């Protein structure tokens, strides 16, 4: 597929050029920028469709020589399709024109790989009646890089830049013989308007981000990120850079583990001259396993020669990656941090796709190390590669066709269907050991270390479509891109359970423990937001594996009704109490007695499996006297197998015949006891094996988590849609103009700018949110006139935060019936509060005070909260939280989240409030913040909620620079 676009925008003397230069910039538009003064947020690292990284940035005059080389490297056909003619060379005047733009009316972006331009995209404004609404767009991709999806990426980023400059439409002229270019526009999700003129097709389309556009963007992002992780986890060949001959060195241990794991492709040790051979990181104590002849080993003829090639663990070693004669997909780097830079150029020349850097001495070591890490990431991405680490434990893929163990862990669990992501290397070793002991088989494993590049979001994208992974485990120390995590997790959780330890109660750092109050709120918010995305949050690694075991081997419960069967009334009671606390309904607890026979167990479990009033079973078997445990295990498995057989024979029958989960405390063993294992084809535990837990509480907790997830997954999917009566363009322009005024006035852009009450109401009005009518007044005369204009009764209110929301309501005078009362109240409040400006506001219908707030969260980005209004509820922390954007179901659930929400449903005979009006407010605020990421905080407090609606009395908006644009515009790596 050819991705060139023959619009002729940059053709010397073209119509677009003359039109673009014919008129002056409109007075109300931002002034053009200098040739090197481009918006820095337009710089982006992006993923091509093959998973490789490409650097995107605005063009500058210094690119002239690169543009000439790029053009010279294009094929004759690509030049023809782009320029409507052969155009063998670009005249110097044209090169100067292409590389000197104003970054507003004319914008050009270049895709760069290894310092060379591989694609160029540009737009040029077309003015009609002095208003720049349309722009002509063009791009061309080097022949060697066509088919990598660079055309659509350039189109996305050009559209984003054009929208910032006020353009609403793109146009293009395409040769009729180049239908692939039209397909690029169409497949991006744009609604095209086309007209034919002989040999060309004229295309027009609006560039506003529609739902169709976002859907296409997200699908392409998912495919490219999954492909990049596949490049990491499914390499055809591996090079170990820094492979040492010293068994105590990291490079030696890595090579030993790759060989012992049985990697199916060739392995190439790289052990060049200099310090890399013997100075690679720390002593791991890993022992090499014996191995047979493999690819890359020296030949008998070489061994008979006078000069034997250098080798590591009997495999021929190479001085650099570029000296390896065969292709290399994955490079595992174990050289000192100071020498990592030296291997990057070799990896680029060799075409290496991914680096796993286990070397330490980067961000974890202090400021100097962090600078080195940033420099490493920049260089890796400029070379088109992806990076795991630095300071990583490594990666593993147990799929037999790959069999990759490129980690420092001495013990890797057997093959299974669980994917695991974590950061800490030391923690990763403990995690892998625990999984092996519990017989939890892993499909893939990634320990990302400092997580400079590849993150949990990337792995979620890969596992979403990975048929070898059914369960996903995450140990999250932080969220690299919280908005993106929430978006991806919502989708993945629909088909695969995600269990996460978020640094909190069970993994709290010393710094967070010192801030216990803040940490408690963080944990509360994390739980709500993760639940919104369907993620099962646990507090400890032990709970993580408790959940993993039931998800990996047992079906989800179809309801909460649980029967407990056991031989100890005390342990049965503990299980019942914990189950109820987790949301399960304990139908009954059957105590078979300490000496219960295996027949009694089998009969009781079989009865429970066939009972339509039972959804799940907990079996407690910890006998106080010696009995034949094997017999009891066989009885339990027989009952379970009877259930499976009956379900298979009556497919589509009543619910009683569907498989039901069973958990047990069989002899207090953790994992899958031999007697409760259903072996698969490889002899390892398969689906249908019964997990055992060390205590009845843990068994009940795991089952409760399974039910919570099953209940979330059964929720109807609620689409995120745009409310009616919104004008995002007007609001966006108003907000950005306010920010430009702030910068022009020398204001501090750090915390941002809080808009006034009138300005805030104006922005909200463009999103269909009306504030109860009010006027700002500074004199008694203005107060009296405002009261008459609004219509009595009115309220006079202080404007300073000190007097707003007080429990004694001293900052307001309510239900004032006439102008005399208004003037008197104005005088009293002016003297009492010292406020120069007061508000006169129309009285709203009586109702319950509620509040909506959006704020920045260091872990999750923009969060929206809801609760009852007032300092009492603030002190109690009685608020619900959700990540943005909200679906209709999210909004409804958020209203019910606070403990005090019972007051809204009708309490003590009071009528319920209008929940639809509250949900509509939540959705409109969510849409506003999603549309305009510069909106950093929104407060609607109070909102008087009544059976007749929701009246917003006060609203304030704070705007400021966007912390990150990684998930608020065109695709880019975080």
Q: What domains sit in the chain, N to C, each tagged with a CATH number?
A: 15-208 (3.40.630.30), 554-712 (3.40.50.261), 716-772+845-974 (3.30.470.20), 773-843 (3.30.1490.20)
User: How far from the centroid of its chain's Cα atoms is residue 675's Cα?
Assistant: 41
User: How far from the centroid of its chain's Cα atoms is residue 808's Cα?
Assistant: 44
Q: Given this model, what pLDDT does residue 803 score?
A: 87
C-alpha pair distances (Å), 872 with each of 118, 721, 849, 860, 900: 60, 34, 12, 26, 11
pLDDT band at 309 (very low <50, low <70, confident <90, very high): low
Per-residue pLDDT averaged across 759-778, rounded?
97
Distance CA 703, CA 564 (A): 12
Q: Given this model, what pLDDT does residue 426 score?
A: 80
Left if phi > 0, otherwise alpha if psi is -120 to 50, otherwise beta: which for 429?
A: alpha
Residues in a beta bridge with 445: 396, 420
- Residue by residue, what is the 3-state secondary structure of 488-527? HHHHHCCCCCEEEEECCCCCCCHHHHHCHHHHHHHHHHHH
Q: Given this model, what pLDDT does residue 751 score?
A: 67
Per-residue pLDDT averaged across 784-790, rounded?
96
- The residues, ordered by sequence, that sit 6+ positions from 426 with a Cβ below 8 Å of its Cβ are none
More confident residue, 835 or 876: 835
**pLDDT tops 70 at residue 514:** no
- Residue by residue, what is the 3-state secondary structure of 389-420? CCCCCEEEECCCCCCEEEECCCCCCCEEEEEE
Q: State percent of the chain over pLDDT 70.
A: 87
C-alpha pair distances (Å), 125 with each of 146, 761, 945: 27, 33, 48
Query: What does the pLDDT look like over 550-609, one tens digit per residue?
Result: 999 999 999 999 999 999 999 999 999 999 999 999 999 999 998 888 899 999 999 999
Q: Given this model, what pLDDT does residue 669 score?
A: 87
pLDDT band at 645 (very low <50, low <70, confident <90, very high): very low
Q: Given this model, what pLDDT does residue 130 score?
A: 59
Q: Given this model, what pLDDT does residue 26 score?
A: 39
Distance CA 822, CA 269 (A): 86
Per-residue pLDDT averaged across 497-506, rounded?
75
Strands 386-388 and 394-397: unpaired
Query: What does the pLDDT look like over 731-748, one tens digit per residue?
Result: 988 998 888 776 665 554
Instruction: Please give the backbone phi and psi of residue 37, each rounded to the nearest 5 degrees, phi first.
Output: -100, 65
Q: Given this model, what pLDDT does residue 743 score?
A: 63
Distance CA 174, CA 182 (A): 7
Query: Please, are residues 908 and 914 in contact by the beta-carbon 8 Å criterion?
Result: no
Query: What does the pLDDT look like over 684-738, one tens digit per residue?
Result: 899 999 999 999 999 999 999 999 999 999 988 888 888 999 999 899 889 988 8
Left if phi > 0, otherwise alpha if psi is -120 to 50, otherwise beta: which for 269?
A: beta
Q: Given this model, what pLDDT does residue 307 score?
A: 56
Query: Please, are residues 449 and 333 in contact by the beta-carbon 8 Å criterion?
Result: no
More confident residue, 658 or 187: 187
Mean of the per-residue pLDDT values for the chain?
86
Q: State percent of the chain over pLDDT 90.
A: 62
**pLDDT tops 50 at residue 288:** no
C-alpha pair distances (Å), 838 with each of 14, 530, 834, 835: 59, 42, 10, 7
Q: What angle do CA 372, 373, 375 make, to 5 degrees?
A: 65
Q: Given this model, what pLDDT does residue 716 score?
A: 87
Per-residue pLDDT averaged across 843-861, rounded?
89
Distance CA 371, CA 478 (A): 20
**pLDDT tops 70 at residue 840:** yes
DSSP label at 62? G
Query: What does the pLDDT look like over 25-72, one tens digit per residue?
Result: 333 445 567 777 899 889 999 999 999 999 999 999 999 999 999 999
């Amino acid at each position: 597929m050819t991705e060139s676009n023959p619009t002729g925008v940059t053709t010397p003397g073209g119509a677009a050029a003359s039109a673009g230069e014919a008129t002056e910039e409109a007075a109300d538009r931002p002034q053009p920028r200098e040739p090197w003064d481009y918006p820095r947020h337009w710089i982006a690292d992006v993923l091509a469709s093959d998973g490789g990284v490409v650097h995107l940035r605005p063009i500058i005059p210094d690119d002239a020589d690169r543009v000439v080389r790029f053009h010279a490297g294009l094929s004759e056909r690509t030049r023809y399709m782009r320029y409507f003619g052969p155009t063998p060379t670009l005249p110097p005047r044209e090169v100067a024109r292409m590389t000197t733009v104003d970054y507003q009316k004319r914008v050009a972006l270049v895709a760069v790989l290894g310092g060379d331009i591989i694609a160029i995209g540009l737009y040029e404004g077309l003015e009609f009646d002095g208003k720049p609404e349309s722009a002509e767009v063009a791009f061309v991709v080097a022949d060697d890089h066509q088919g990598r999806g660079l055309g659509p990426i350039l189109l996305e980023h050009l559209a984003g830049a054009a929208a910032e400059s006020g353009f609403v439409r793109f146009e293009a002229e395409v040769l009729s013989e180049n239908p692939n270019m039209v397909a690029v526009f169409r497949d991006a999700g744009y609604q095209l308007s086309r007209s034919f003129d002989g040999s060309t097709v004229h295309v027009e389309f609006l560039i506003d981000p529609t739902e169709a556009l976002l859907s296409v963007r997200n699908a392409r992002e998912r495919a490219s990120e999954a492909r990049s992780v596949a490049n990491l986890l499914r390499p055809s060949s591996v090079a170990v850079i820094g492979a040492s001959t010293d068994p105590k060195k990291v490079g030696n241990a890595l090579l030993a583990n790759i060989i012992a794991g049985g990697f199916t492709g060739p392995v190439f040790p790289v052990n060049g001259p200099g310090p890399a051979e013997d100075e690679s990181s720390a002593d791991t104590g890993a022992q090499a396993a014996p191995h047979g002849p493999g690819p890359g080993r020296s030949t008998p003829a070489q061994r008979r020669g006078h000069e034997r090639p250098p080798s590591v663990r009997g495999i021929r070693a190479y001085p650099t990656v570029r000296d390896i004669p065969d292709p290399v997909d994955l490079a595992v780097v174990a050289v000192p941090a100071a020498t990592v830079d030296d291997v990057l150029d070799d990896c680029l020349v060799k075409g290496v796709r991914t680096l796993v850097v286990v070397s330490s001495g980067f961000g974890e070591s202090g400021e100097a190390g962090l600078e080195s890490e940033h420099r490493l990431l920049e260089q890796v991405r400029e070379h088109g590669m992806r990076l795991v680490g630095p300071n990583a434990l490594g990666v593993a893929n147990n799929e037999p066709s790959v069999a990759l163990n490129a980690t420092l862990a001495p013990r890797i669990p057997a093959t299974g269907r669980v994917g695991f992501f974590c950061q800490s290397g030391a923690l990763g070793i403990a995690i892998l050991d625990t999984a092996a002991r519990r017989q939890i088989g892993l499909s893939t494993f990634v320990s990302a270390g400092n997580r400079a590049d590849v993150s949990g979001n990337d792995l979620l994208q890969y596992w979403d479509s990975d048929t070898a992974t059914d369960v996903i485990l995450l140990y999250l120390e932080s969220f690299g891109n919280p908005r993106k995590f929430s978006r991806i997790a919502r989708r993945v959780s629909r088909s695969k359970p995600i269990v996460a330890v978020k640094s909190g109660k069970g993994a709290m750092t010393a710094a967070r423990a010192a801030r216990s109050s803040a940490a408690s709120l963080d944990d509360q918010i994390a739980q709500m937001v993760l639940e919104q995305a369907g993620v099962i949050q646990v507090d400890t690694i032990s709970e993580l594996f408790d959940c993993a075991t039931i998800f990996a081997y047992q079906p989800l419960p179809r309801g909460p009704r649980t029967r407990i069967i056991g031989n100890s009334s005390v342990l049965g009671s503990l299980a019942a109490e914990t189950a109820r606390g987790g949301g399960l309904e304990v139908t009954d607890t059957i105590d078979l007695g300490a000496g219960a026979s295996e027949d009694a167990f089998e009969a009781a479990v079989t009865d429970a499996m066939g009972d339509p009033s039972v959804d799940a079973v907990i079996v407690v078997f910890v006998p106080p006297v010696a009995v034949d445990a094997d017999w009891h295990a066989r009885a339990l498995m027989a009952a379970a197998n009877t259930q499976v057989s009956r379900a298979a024979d009556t497919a589509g029958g009543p619910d009683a015949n569907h498989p039901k989960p069973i958990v047990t405390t069989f002899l207090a063993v953790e994992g899958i006891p031999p007697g409760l294992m259903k072996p698969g084809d490889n002899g390892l535990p398969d689906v249908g094996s019964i997990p055992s837990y060390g205590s009845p509480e843990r068994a009940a907790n795991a089952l409760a988590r399974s039910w919570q997830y099953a209940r979330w997954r059964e929720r109807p999917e609620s689409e995120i849609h745009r409310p009616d009566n919104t004008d995002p363009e007007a609001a966006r322009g108003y907000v950005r103009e306010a920010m430009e005024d702030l910068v022009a006035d020398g204001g501090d852009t750090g915390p941002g700018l809080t808009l006034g009450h009138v300005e805030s109401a104006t922005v909200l009005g463009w999103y269909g949110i009306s504030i109860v009518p009010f006027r700002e007044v500074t004199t008694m005369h203005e107060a009296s006139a405002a009261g008459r204009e609004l219509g009595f009764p009115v309220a006079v209110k202080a404007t300073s935060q000190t007097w707003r929301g007080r429990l004694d309501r001293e900052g307001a005078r309510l239900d004032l019936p006439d102008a005399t009362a208004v003037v008197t109240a104005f005088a009293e409040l002016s003297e009492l509060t010292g406020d120069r400006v007061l508000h006169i506001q129309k009285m709203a219908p009586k109702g319950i005070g509620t509040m909506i707030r959006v704020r920045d969260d260091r872990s999750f980005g923009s969060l929206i909260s809801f609760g009852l209004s007032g300092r009492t509820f603030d002190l109690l922390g009685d608020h619900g939280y959700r990540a943005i954007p909200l679906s209709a179901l999210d909004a409804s659930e958020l209203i019910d989240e606070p403990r005090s929400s019972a007051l809204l449903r009708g309490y003590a005979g009071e009528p319920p409030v209008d929940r639809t009006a509250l949900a509509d407010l939540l959705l409109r605020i969510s849409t506003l913040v999603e549309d305009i990421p510069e909106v950093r905080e929104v407060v609607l407090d109070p909102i008087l909620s009544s059976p007749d609606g929701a009246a917003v009395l006060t609203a304030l908006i704070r705007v400021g620079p966007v912390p990150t644009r990684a998930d608020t515009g065109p695709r880019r790596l975080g």
